Structure 1
Amino acid sequence: MKKRIYILLFIYLGCVFHLYAFDNNDKMAILENMPSYLQTGNSAISKELRTYLDNFYLPYEKTTYRYGFISTDYGHLFVQSFQPKKPKAVVAVSHGYLEHSAWTFQLTNFLINENYIVVLYDHYGHGFSDGTPGHIDEFTQYGYGFSKVIDTVYPLWKDLPFVAIGHSLGGATIIQYTLSQKHSPLKGIVLAAPLVRSYLWGPSAAAVNIFDSVVNRIPRRFSYRKELIDKGKNDPLQTKTMPLTWMEALVEWDSWNDTYPTTDIPTLLLQGAKDTVVDSEYNYSWIKKHYTDLKYQRYEDADHLLFLESDELQEQIFIDIKHFLNDLLEE
């Protein structure tokens, strides 16, 4: 709890006094000198990279930190990992749409304090990764990208259990991976407000056909807590508009994703009752049909950003994740 208070204090001070200001110059310097993920360690941290890590309260100093690109068929993906001294398992985290992996900082700090190795990566078209901002040609490319991340990091820690946590688009990504992989090292998954269909699905899908010939992108709505809104708007790695081609790819995926097989991988589904980003009722029924070993937690006062919630809610969400992970490791 004290750790969370310190992090929130840093957020407030950072917004007021612009501490650890991470800007586009830092972004470009990191990209220009980006190494391969497998070739880095703490000694390779540049001034600009340190600014990025400090800006997002990522605990590189007390962990073994790796970062860099991995190569895939659709471009490079940015991957970073944080290894505590006595890890008990590996958690791969998949972030939400229009954000990037560093915005999972509260979840990352929580997991590291629980002695988990945390693997973060940026989706195609997000953060430091290659791709047109916010765009994807085919929705299943997200699942493919996640598979390449797992293929890269699994040999490093193959003697430890592997778990995945995905929020929103990250949840859809893990759904694609777990329902299409015949052999996976994952022992269990956590889906936090996962995307299967978006909120108001019918009108949203219809609007794509109406507006596609008029506009290419629509402005993004920032729905962070008050103290994080400016941080999000000023983040050079955030995508500020949504291309309609992304929604077209989601609609195309929706047209056939019900044909996925079922899986018995242990799954924890977390959902906020006040979520107006995803269609939580439809998504719950869809996931319940495809995941036969499912636990469900619904939070009446929670919105969509389950890993950036108010203190009391955030603590309860992390407790539920902790119990689920503990049960997995005891099996």
Structure 2
Amino acid sequence: MWKWEAEGQPKAVVAIVHGAYEHHNRYAWLIQKLRNSNFHVVMGDLPGHGAQTGRNVHDEKFATYTEYVKELLKIGIVDGLPLFIMGHGLGATLVMRVLQTEDIICAGVILSSPWLQLEHQPSKYAGVLTKLSSSMKINHNINVELLTRNYDFYIEARDDKNYSSVVTAGWYKELQSYMKTVNQHEGSIRNVPVLFHTGGHDKITDITASKNWLLKQQLTEIQYKEWPKLYHDVYQEPEQEEVFLYTESFMHSALRSLGYIV
């Protein structure tokens, strides 16, 4: 895990949990934008992800992901500053589960494109996954063209050797169970401000399922933003500056409500 310090006097800390198959380097632009706006950022790579593992098939246990998120949040509170938790894709789902099971105190939560119900399945095995050996490899086939319309990001991601959507059948079965658990959890997360981003043209997830989850929470302050043209990776889209400004405004509002002068 790494920490990037704010360019000026820090307002708060943002802990970021990235999505499935990717790694922290894909968030370099967002990290720098947050630093420029005087936020510390803490982030790392999920277990089994990134350059340090040298692996290209995901078979990690989801319990290790959950423990990773808990450790990340512990690092986020070390400075004694307000903490914002940001999760994208599967990372958003992991954050949602930790918020369901742990009493996390934070200034706000930002979730984008959570995985609660997938529209994009591994096509070749979609109907027979439950019959496959747990160790059998399958390709989820989530390529960059499904994630964003940003051509510049296509170029950047083309030679990314640390991105792989190959998983074992066992991993994919556990993913399905994990999403179901988060979706069907009784009760609400802690009453904190929540910002929820979805892309109107998300090709990976069913955004209706995500919206329904949010509406079930007993929260007094929620912002739900569906970006009409955007794909799954809202912070990588050509409109990323607009998405960031919307997020920054949410965080400033949450800080003011806590009595901080922004």
TM-score class, shorter? 0.7 to 0.9
Moved more, 314-323 or 243-252: 243-252
1:1-331 pair list within 5 angstroms: 79-84=1-6, 85-128=8-51, 130=53, 133=56, 135-155=58-78, 157-158=79-80, 160-182=81-103, 184-199=104-119, 206-209=127-130, 215-218=136-139, 219-223=141-145, 224=148, 225-257=150-182, 258-263=184-189, 264-290=191-217, 292=219, 293-310=221-238, 313-331=239-257
Residue 175 of structure 1 and its aligned partner are, at CA, apart by 0.5
Provide, for residues 100-130 of structure 1, a one-character-per-residue CA deviation record: whole Å limited to 9, x for no partner.
0110122112111110001111001101455
Question: What TM-score, normalized by structure 2, do the two folds share?
Answer: 0.84
Residues 125 and 228 (structure 1), Cα distance of their counterparts in 2 relative to 1, 3 Å cut: same
Residue 229 of structure 1 and its aligned partner are, at CA, apart by 2.6
Q: Which has the larger radius of gyration?
A: 1
Residue 137 of structure 1 and its aligned partner are, at CA, apart by 4.5
Question: What TM-score, normalized by structure 1, do the two folds share?
Answer: 0.68
Residues 152 and 109 (structure 1), Cα distance of their counterparts in 2 relative to 1, 3 Å cut: closer
Residue 252 of structure 1 and its aligned partner are, at CA, apart by 1.6
Give the Cα–Cα distance (whole angstroms) in 2 for the partners of residues 213 and 147 of structure 1: 27
Residue 190 of structure 1 and its aligned partner are, at CA, apart by 0.4
Give the Cα–Cα distance (whole angstroms) in 2 for the partners of residues 229 and 214 of structure 1: 31
Residue 213 of structure 1 and its aligned partner are, at CA, apart by 7.7
One-letter amino acid of the counterpart of residue 112, structure 1: R
Give the Cα–Cα distance (whole angstroms) in 2 for the partners of residues 176 and 150 of structure 1: 13
Provide, for residues 42-101 of structure 1, a one-character-per-residue CA deviation record: whole Å limited to 9, x for no partner.
xxxxxxxxxxxxxxxxxxxxxxxxxxxxxxxxxxxxx11110231110001111111101
Provide, for residues 227-283 of structure 1, a one-character-per-residue CA deviation record: whole Å limited to 9, x for no partner.
333432322322252333322111122343312430212100001110011111012
Provide, for residues 2-52 of structure 1, a one-character-per-residue CA deviation record: whole Å limited to 9, x for no partner.
xxxxxxxxxxxxxxxxxxxxxxxxxxxxxxxxxxxxxxxxxxxxxxxxxxx
Q: Specify which structure has the higher proportion of helix.
A: 1
Give the Cα–Cα distance (whole angstroms) in 2 for the partners of residues 108 and 137 of structure 1: 26
One-letter amino acid of the counterpart of residue 202, structure 2: D
Residues 281 and 314 (structure 1), Cα distance of their counterparts in 2 relative to 1, 3 Å cut: same
Residues 240 and 179 (structure 1), Cα distance of their counterparts in 2 relative to 1, 3 Å cut: closer
Give the Cα–Cα distance (whole angstroms) in 1 for the partners of residues 212 and 52 of structure 2: 33
Give the gaps of 5 or more residues in structure 1.
Answer: 1-78
Give the gaps of 5 or more residues in structure 2.
Answer: 258-262
The percentage of counterpart residues that share the same residue type is 21
Moved more, 140-149 or 187-196: 140-149
Give the Cα–Cα distance (whole angstroms) in 2 for the partners of residues 136 and 161 of structure 1: 34
CA contact (8 A) 1:261 1:290 kept: yes
Which SS does the other structure have where 2:233 is aligned?
coil
Residues 111 and 214 (structure 1), Cα distance of their counterparts in 2 relative to 1, 3 Å cut: closer
Residue 294 of structure 1 and its aligned partner are, at CA, apart by 2.0
Which SS does the other structure have where 1:91 is aligned?
strand
Which residue is 1:38 aligned to? Answer: none
> How many residues matched?
248
Provide, for residues 299-322 of structure 1, a one-character-per-residue CA deviation record: whole Å limited to 9, x for no partner.
111110101111xx2222112101
CA contact (8 A) 2:14 2:76 kept: no
Give the Cα–Cα distance (whole angstroms) in 2 for the partners of residues 287 and 116 of structure 1: 26
Residues 309 and 217 (structure 1), Cα distance of their counterparts in 2 relative to 1, 3 Å cut: same
Which SS does the other structure have where 1:93 is aligned?
strand
